[in-house]
Amino acid sequence: MCETAAMTSEPITAAAAGTWKLGDLTVNRVGFGAMRLTGSAAFHHGTPSDRDRSIAVLRRAIELGVNHIDTAAFYFSPLRSANELINRALSPYADDLVIATKVGPFRDYSGEWGTSARPEDLRGHVEENLRQLGRDHLDVVYLRRMRQDSIAEHFGALAGLRDAGLIRHLGISSVETRHLAEAQAIAPVVAVQNQYGLDSPDPEADAVLRACGEQGIAFVPFFAIAGQGGALGPSGATDDEVLAVARAHGATPAQVRLAWTLQQGPHVLAIPGTGNPDHLTENVAAGALRLTDEEMARLDALHTRGQ
């Protein structure tokens, strides 16, 4: 547990990291990613999660002040769906709860990935999320780019669904700075979700993060803890610099990675995911961890070392 948690018997809440606005929706900067709720391998044929435990984790996240949940209809494993777990655990939803989902990729019921969606397919993706979540509109919908050179046609289709009242705000995911400019010319973008983390050096991701900050757009990194391990989770290897900073704060390496990510700018949101209630508490507490300028410089050097 990080040093800030040791100062008080009360658990640290998501409010400790401060807030940001997704359009007109205020969220705490530490949120929750739902992918890992479904089991040992959300995108593979892993062991299904314990349903009651996953529901308990979601409810505990809300108790800890999380009001921003990131999910998708394609987050499922045998016998489990992240959206349906969210519905079961949290419906009827609190007025201040923001649920963001993403469309573009899709999987059939056997779990196999389909080809990239056509623009006309996106309404079906949005409606599937609405059905599973039990909502009549979606707060934020990201268009997840699937290697398209241009996202204009797909993003334009989502903008039409926003105009129809099915979507409140729009985001984009897995994009470059040119895609952000392309989308902004069609409709306002409130958030960009890219893979980004201390262990994932990528000059283009750094450029997108800066562009979002300049334009007042939220930057929402995924795999901030897992790094290059991605959907399979952390590799288990931890750099000596991360360990040293963690020891100095009485924190875990995962908390240091989250704190470093959040300190990249006030517009950066974290959506760490877990099906473990202890890890949930630690992830939320990372929002209260403040790294020194010297520690940030050391970790920044580690981040750019592989570029």
All structural domains of the chain, each given as residue ranges with its CATH number in brackets, are 19-234+258-304 (3.20.20.100)
Alpha-carbon distance values, 252 to 1, 118, 187, 255, 257 (Å):
7, 43, 40, 5, 9
| 3 state SS of 183 | helix
Which pair of structure tokens corresponds to residue 20? 């940001």
Measured in residues, the chain has a length of 307
Which pair of structure tokens corresponds to residue 136? 């009549």
Q: Which helix (H) or strand (E) holds 3?
A: helix 3-6
Burial 186-215 (b: 16+ CB within 10 A, else e): ebebbbbbbbbbbbbbbeebeebbebbbee
Q: What is the pTM of this model?
A: 0.92
Contact call for residues 136 and 130 (beta carbons, < 8 A): yes
By the 10 Å C-beta count (0-12 exposed, 13-18 middle, 19+ buried), 237 is classed as: exposed
Pairing verdict, β 32-33 and 68-70: parallel
50 Cβ partners below 8 Å, 6+ apart?
Answer: none
The full DSSP string for 254-292 is HHHHHHHHHTT-TTB-B----S-HHHHHHHHHGGG----
Which pair of structure tokens corresponds to residue 10? 């009360």
| 3 state SS of 109 | coil
Residue 143 DSSP code: E
Contact call for residues 285 and 4 (beta carbons, < 8 A): yes
d(CA 294, CA 122): 46
The half-sphere exposure of 161 on its side-chain side, counting CA atoms within 13 A, is 30
Residue 116 DSSP code: P
pLDDT of residue 238: 67
Written as tens digits, the pLDDT of the chain (307 aa) is 455 444 446 899 999 999 999 999 999 999 999 998 987 555 555 567 889 999 999 999 999 999 999 999 999 887 889 999 999 999 999 999 999 999 999 887 777 777 778 999 999 999 999 999 999 999 999 999 998 999 999 999 999 999 999 999 999 999 999 999 999 999 999 999 999 999 877 899 999 999 999 999 999 999 888 544 444 444 445 688 999 999 999 999 999 999 999 999 999 999 999 999 999 999 999 999 999 999 999 999 999 875 5
Alpha-carbon distance values, 101 to 29, 104, 161, 191, 245 (Å):
17, 11, 14, 12, 34
Residue 104 DSSP code: S
Tokens 């040992």, residue located: 40
User: What residues act catalytically?
Assistant: 75
Which pair of structure tokens corresponds to residue 267? 């517009």
Alpha-carbon distance values, 25 to 144, 265, 299 (Å):
21, 19, 32
Region for residue 165 given its phi and psi (left: phi exceeds 0; alpha: psi -120 to 50; beta: otherwise): left
